[in-house]
Chains A and B, each alone.
Chain A
Amino acid sequence: MKLLQSPAVRVGLSISIATGLYGVSFGALSVTSGLDFWQTMALSLLLFSGGSQFAFIGVVAGGGSGVAAMGAATLLGMRNGIYGMQINALLQPRGLLRFAAAHVTIDESTATSTGQTDPLEQKRGFWTAGLGIFILWNVFTAVGALAGGALGDPKQWGLDGAAVAAFLGLLWPRLKGREPVAIAVVCALATVLAVPFVPAGVPILVAAVVAAAIGWFSHGRSDEGLEPDVDPYAEHPHTHPQGDAT
């Protein structure tokens, strides 16, 4: 019970519930993109990184090949390596623990941990968010996959629109300032221009090359776009009216 007094554990638990819940949308979108139940579960259990998972099914849904899906998912997973470096410096997990820590190194667990100053709290925050999300994300992925399969025509329910919204929702928190917005616009334009000329899935990789070139030649802040896509320590996270948003 003493653990529940820990601020990092509390934040970790609440972000686990919030993030875990949207596993429903991943599960439902995945089966309507053409993956079967076990392929969907394999992504949540083994790949376990929301952005990359949505990228994989997003490419498949657009008719792209398995290689293109893998390319997009893998490029999007690169930032987890940077997070791993940060967590390794903070927590210094040893032995087998380090292999477990690597698996749950994602936006949310990194944000929960790095938002604390006390080393013990950093450790608690990382593991609470990491393991909590892993469990709930997988449970709700299964729920979504089973529900999505029972829906019938996905378009009738606007599930293709849900995918659009999901990607915009993942992108949004990273658009702080002028440079990230410019990068997003340029990459979106490059994508649209590429669509008629290359096979489905490839335009996303074209955009990745454009983005990498911008990163290579620009001199902006080195962590642009690398803030985890959540801020678990926002003081009043959801106080704005949401009633008319649905």
Chain B
Amino acid sequence: MTLWMWLLLSCVLAYGWKLLGYLVPASVLRDPRMSRIAGTMTIGLLASLTIVNTVASGQALVLDARLGALAAAGIALMLRAPFLVVVLAGAGAAAGLRLMGWS
């Protein structure tokens, strides 16, 4: 039940950000520092989410088949594969490595 609560609150806050852009006078949000932070934070969060999902297992750091998924996704992206193909490459690499015995 509490997960529902945080989930719905996230939805409200996400809509809040979007609406803020429409309701607040442009001058308030046009502060270059604000938009720079929005930009660096987007990069930082996505980088963090990538690495956490690659090497973290709870509070432990582990190297497993997910590392292969990261490499495969990187290669797919360098070949300019579309998003769905990138995701499939990651899944395929992790599943394949596990089949070969690397957990």
CB within 8 Å of B: which residues of A?
Answer: 18, 21-22, 24-25, 35, 39, 42-43, 46-49, 51-52, 54-56, 58-63, 65-67, 69-70, 72-89, 93, 98-99, 101-103, 105, 155-172, 174-175, 180, 183-188, 190-192, 195-200, 203-204, 206-208, 210-212, 214-216, 218, 220-226, 237-238, 240-242, 244-246
Contacts and interface: CB of A to CB of B under 8 A. Distances in A.
Closest 8 CB pairs of A and B: A84-B21, A165-B90, A211-B44, A161-B94, A161-B69, A66-B6, A158-B95, A158-B94
A180 to B, nearest CB: 5
A116 B19 CA distance: 23
Given A47-B10, A62-B58, A195-B59, 16 more contacts: A42-B8, A43-B11, A62-B56, A74-B10, A82-B38, A157-B91, A158-B95, A159-B94, A168-B74, A183-B40, A191-B52, A199-B59, A207-B47, A211-B43, A215-B33, A225-B40
B86 A171 contact: no
B62 to A, nearest CB: 10
Interface residues on B, range: 35 or more
Per DSSP, chain B at the interface is: helix
Contact of B73 (A164, A183, A241): A164
Contacts of B14: 46-49, 52, 73-74, 77, 80
Given A158-B98, A183-B47, A208-B41, A25 B6 contact: no
Contact of B41 (A39, A75, A99, A245): A75
25 contacts: A18-B82, A51-B46, A52-B10, A65-B6, A74-B17, A81-B21, A82-B34, A83-B21, A84-B18, A84-B19, A84-B22, A85-B30, A155-B94, A160-B53, A160-B94, A161-B93, A164-B73, A166-B90, A167-B46, A171-B46, A187-B45, A204-B49, A242-B80, A242-B85, A244-B79
B39 A158 contact: no
Contacts of B77: 168-169, 172
Residue of A47, A103, A158, A171 with most chain B CB atoms under a 10 A cut-off? A158
B40 A211 contact: yes
Contacts of B86: 165-166, 168-169, 245
Contacts of A35: 3, 7
A47 B11 contact: yes
Nearest to A58: B49
A205 B99 CA distance: 34
Contacts of B33: 215-216, 222
Contacts of A61: 53
Given A164-B90, A195-B52, A200-B56, A101 B22 contact: yes
